């Protein structure tokens, strides 16, 4: 290891010395050439006094040039990657040399022709610059020649002739680690068609993609427009996926700003790129400021949403982060991840237990006195909860109620419930339980004015445990079939980071009693999502991978809603986040109903759905399964 480092260091020094020697020879040569040029290429006509002046000046000229070059770090650059920054350094060096040369000429009393100074100065600038950039030019054409003769190279189409596309193309061309040939560029700007970028032709707009893939024999497409809207990205990528090419994309605009657009940051196009909705924008400074220095408790902190909450909260420098989860494996995973990343800089406590246990949750609240509680602990799988409705009530409803009461007693400032779009006009017990949780939050907010109780409602989360995308991927990996419940079923989707951004933004906006709702754009047809995912995996739907329709599951509906009609809609500072107005309800009556639910959830007599239907007005459960069970037992 040390030998390799020493060898690399010596190699750099050798190159710098060779460049220094080349500069010295260049200075001596160009100023003699300038003298010869001054006398019409007839050196025998040069007067002796000018030759003596040249020989007298050269030691000073060479030494001062090398010193200025070294001071401007022209011997430290990696010239095979030379760019405008290196050119600016050369220009700076030559501006300094003007004063150094003038001062030297006056000090030595040189009386040389004025044209000699000017021609020597210009030629030395051109040659010393040319020496440095020639390596990059030679390397460029050498790499291109090698790539032309490579048999295994990818033939690439780049979409986007902007700054990101140019940066990416330059790296693809110059990198010796990538075996690709950039063949053409697509851009929707009609003024760019027919022009060249980094020597690559811009051949048309999005509607020419399919034709150009065939013409240039493309097998890889790179989408390089990080600042495009979600719909624009979706439309273009939908055209690309029909070509059968390997599809990649650069990350978001924030990486472009940081200069991070490169081959190493490319990723494969994923189903999230085809959702056709802009990413949720939040004010990170506001959010982080509201968390910094606070003690934060996350229940269900090992789950998909809970663990992402913990990651983002940990990065906001809280005074202490407390993770509470009943599933020890998940809790352990997020604990180790945060320890690896933050070490001793994060005060972290990871506790195991259930929100159903009032003694346990009350003890945690008393011990840690959290300023904020994010309540993500819940059962969420619709079909499983249909078969175990009592568990949905115990964990989701009673667990939320107990956690909220413990939080109020402990003086928590903000309590944020993670809710679901299934809480709107619920057709299943999971959705009805989430609606009850929202009612608990609104009731607690009225009863406990010292704590701001709010809920955050959003749709399906891509990539979360039990979500449809991981299931589809497993089915595709197994060769199919991919199962879709109904051809017409639609859902709203968001990514885990978006969901967490919404939750954190809600915690900042919270004044108490609100239900925050994300404007999730257009819903997505699950059948289209399955087909797109199959294509992104390199297969043809219904040819390579079959799609089977299995029918709606118990409690499942064709579409989800985010807002009940009677809730209304109120805007926030974030145009993608809205507030549902609290619904009037009798708090004392609701508390009695919660007690009844708590008692009934302990008995497996099948009445729990009926009781829930009596509380949640729009919930219409299917009680046929209960009747079947009753008949089979009689």
Q: Count of CB atoms within 10 A of residue 133's CB?
A: 15
What is residue 219's DSSP assignment?
-
Q: How many whole angstroms separate alpha carbon 624 and alpha carbon 121?
A: 95
Contact predicate 53/112, CB 8 Å? yes
Residue 507 is predicted with a pLDDT of: 82
Residue 576 is predicted with a pLDDT of: 66
Helices 304-314, 496-509: axis angle to 10 degrees equals: 60
Within 550-599, strands assigned E span: 570-571, 577-580
Q: Return the structure tokens found at 246.
A: 């390997």
What is residue 541's DSSP assignment?
B
Whether the link from the prior residue into 481 is cis, omega within 30° of 0, is yes
- Pick from 126, 168, 174, 109: nearest CA to 147: 174
Q: What is the pLDDT of residues 185-219, one digit of tens each?
A: 999 988 888 888 888 899 999 999 999 999 999 98
- Pick from 401, 623, 416: nearest CA to 612: 623
Strand partners, 331: none
Angle at 244 between CA 241 and CA 247, to 5 degrees: 60
Within 320-406, strands assigned E span: 320-325, 348-352, 372-375
Q: How many whole angstroms separate alpha carbon 444 and alpha carbon 462?
A: 31
Contact predicate 167/262, CB 8 Å? yes
Contact predicate 485/418, CB 8 Å? no
Q: What is the pLDDT of residues 67-102, one digit of tens each?
A: 888 888 777 665 555 566 677 888 888 888 888 888
**Complete DSSP assignment for 482-508:** EEES-TT-EE-EEEHHHHHHHHHHHHH
Number of H helices, E strands in the chain: 22, 22
pTM (two decimals): 0.61
Residue 21 is predicted with a pLDDT of: 87
Residue 578 is predicted with a pLDDT of: 76
Domain architecture of the chain: domains with CATH: 9-145 (no CATH), 152-269 (3.40.50.720), 370-615 (3.40.50.720)
Residue 530 is predicted with a pLDDT of: 83
Contact predicate 237/209, CB 8 Å? no
Contact predicate 247/213, CB 8 Å? no
Consecutive 10-residue runs of the chain (634 residues): their mean pLDDT?
47 74 87 85 83 86 88 69 69 87 84 85 85 67 53 78 83 71 90 87 91 90 76 79 80 41 52 57 73 94 90 91 95 94 93 95 96 94 90 95 96 93 85 93 93 85 65 83 84 74 80 80 76 76 86 66 53 72 83 92 86 87 53 37
Q: Count of CB atoms within 10 A of residue 480's CB?
A: 17
């Amino acid at each position: 290891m040390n030998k390799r480092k020493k060898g690399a260091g010596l190699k750099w020094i050798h190159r710098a010395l060779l460049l220094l020697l080349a500069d010295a020879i260049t200075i001596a040569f160009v100023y003699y050439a300038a003298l010869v040029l001054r006398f019409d290429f007839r050196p025998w006509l040069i007067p002796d006094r000018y030759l003596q002046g040249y020989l007298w000046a050269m030691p000073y000229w060479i030494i001062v040039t090398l010193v200025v070059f070294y001071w401007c770090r022209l011997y430290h650059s990696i010239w095979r990657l030379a760019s405008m920054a290196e050119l600016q350094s050369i220009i700076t060096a030559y501006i300094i040399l003007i004063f150094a040369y003038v001062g030297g000429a006056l000090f030595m009393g040189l009386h040389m022709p004025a044209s000699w100074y000017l021609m020597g100065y210009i030629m030395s600038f051109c040659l010393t610059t040319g020496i440095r950039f020639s390596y990059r030019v030679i390397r460029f054409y050498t790499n291109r020649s090698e790539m032309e003769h490579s048999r295994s190279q990818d033939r690439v189409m780049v979409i986007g002739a902007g700054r990101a596309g140019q940066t990416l193309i330059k790296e693809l061309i110059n990198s010796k680690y990538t075996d690709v040939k950039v063949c053409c560029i697509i851009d929707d700007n009609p003024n760019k068609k027919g022009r060249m970028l980094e020597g690559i032709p811009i051949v048309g707009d999005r509607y020419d993609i399919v034709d150009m893939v065939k013409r240039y024999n493309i097998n890889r497409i790179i989408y390089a427009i990080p600042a495009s809207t979600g719909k624009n990205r979706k439309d273009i990528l939908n055209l690309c996926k029909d070509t059968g090419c390997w599809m990649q994309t650069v990350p978001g605009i924030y990486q472009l700003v940081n200069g991070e657009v490169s081959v190493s940051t490319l990723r494969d196009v994923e189903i999230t790129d085809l959702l056709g909705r802009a990413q949720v924008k939040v004010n990170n400074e506001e959010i982080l400021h509201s968390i910094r220095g606070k003690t934060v408790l996350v229940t269900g902190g090992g789950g998909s949403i809970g663990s992402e909450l913990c990651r983002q909260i940990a990065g906001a420098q809280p005074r202490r982060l407390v993770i509470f989860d009943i599933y020890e494996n998940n809790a352990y995973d997020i604990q180790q991840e945060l320890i690896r990343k933050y070490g001793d800089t994060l005060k972290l406590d990871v506790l195991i237990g259930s929100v159903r246990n009032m003694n346990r949750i009350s003890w945690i609240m008393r011990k840690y006195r959290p300023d904020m509680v994010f309540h993500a602990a819940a059962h969420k799988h619709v079909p499983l909860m249909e078969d175990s409705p009592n568990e949905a009530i115990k964990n989701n409803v009673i667990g939320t109620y107990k956690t909220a009461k413990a939080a109020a007693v402990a003086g928590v400032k903000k309590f944020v419930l993670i809710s679901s779009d299934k809480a709107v006009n619920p057709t299943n017990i999971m959705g009805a339980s989430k609606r009850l949780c929202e009612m608990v939050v609104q009731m607690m907010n009225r009863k406990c004015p010292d704590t701001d109780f709010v809920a955050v409602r959003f749709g399906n989360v891509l990539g979360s445990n039990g979500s449809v995308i991981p299931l589809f991927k497993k089915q595709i990996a197994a060769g199919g079939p991919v199962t879709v419940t109904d051809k017409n079923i639609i859902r709203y989707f968001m990514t885990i980071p978006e969901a967490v951004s919404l939750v954190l933004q809600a915690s900042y906006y919270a004044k108490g009693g609100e239900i925050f709702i994300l404007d999730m754009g257009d819903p997505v047809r699950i059948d289209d999502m399955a087909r797109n995912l199959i294509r992104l995996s390199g297969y043809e739907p219904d040819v390579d991978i079959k799609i089977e329709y299995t029918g709606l599951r118990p409690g499942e509906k064709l579409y989800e809603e985010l807002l009940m009609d009677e809730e209304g809609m109120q805007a926030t500072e974030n145009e993608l986040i809205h507030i549902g107005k609290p619904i009037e309800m009798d708090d004392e009556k609701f508390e009695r109903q919660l007690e009844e639910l708590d008692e009934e959830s302990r008995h497996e007599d099948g009445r729990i759905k009926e009781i829930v239907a009596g509380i949640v007005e729009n919930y219409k459960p299917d009680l046929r399964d209960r009747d079947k069970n009753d008949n089979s037992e009689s």
